[in-house]
Structure 1
């Protein structure tokens, strides 16, 4: 049920929560959209149970909403995210004095499935780097850039998103360090070795000007 089809009080509350996430928490557009989708789903479920405003939201409502999501085939990771969104939403509502008691204090969701991230084998990494070296040797600007990126990823272990957010000023060639802005807008300094330094220098000299 879109927010415009919710009872007026519930729709206004959802929009106010979105403004809070955007203005006060500095969340990304993607994160705000995901939070609001979860909150919209929750409030739509509450409306089907007769809720007209936020004071009608009870722990049982939250549990039945999660149960309906589970029956719809949602994964444990998604259910855990839904529960986290519900707790953030009701905690905000208490702070805003929209409700007196937080109904999500005793809300629990299935624990996330633990799985190790996939990693490349050593031989795969070697073939990847060797292929980049061969292409870069021909002087193609994109190949020089790609080799520099691969060498930095391999040398530093930074996330791809962190790497793509780097600017030239974030590199200190003399110290061979990167200034990285990670999750939570936290800054850290990461060292890298000679192969990455040579690849970056080659790209700066021959690739970037082109």
Structure 2
């Protein structure tokens, strides 16, 4: 079975599950029960043959994040339009502010600044413990205003922004798993099963790269500690490739364009005769 066949475990999952196996064999080596570790680390070792590269047990694959096409995004929004206002504003904020699932579900009423249309992502809710302040759009602000009025009918207490409306957990903070189920339901209804809670973050950061945002600006917006994570979205956007292609067409292949233009003119002339 090929690792990228779509069946079985993902490459990243396999790599994670190999870690305890590798550590177990490290322990056996320390105890003198084995002379070598059969689970390679895939590291560079100077002096080894073939360039000093030691292959891991399973090749490590790095894939670009999946994002929906324009039509798929419209299909998602079409289904989401029928959702309750809480789910609609959560989806809008998840895209607008490129929020991770935990960051979104952990938002509190005190994190909002409607006057400046910004929200604070607290350090304790982020993946790398970096606090940041991010903006959201005017349409999302309108949705948020409507939701705050609706939330007041559930609870007027300050605290978690998004509350459960079920009988079992009424007025309790919305859990991560509930939000995942909401997105899963929307994805299946739209016929796009690959759409997940993290997809909106991928799409937002890719759109920022498409708009020409600089690498460090995108990294700050996303809350990335290293720009290496941000580079994936720059590559996915194709921004640099598009710019190079445009320059190349202008400088190297301009004569081809001229010839095509003449060909088009000749075809028009022939048709008129």
- The structure with the largest helix share of the pair is 1
| Higher RCO (CA 8 Å, separation ≥ 6 residues) | 2
- TM-score (structure 2 length as normaliser): 0.38
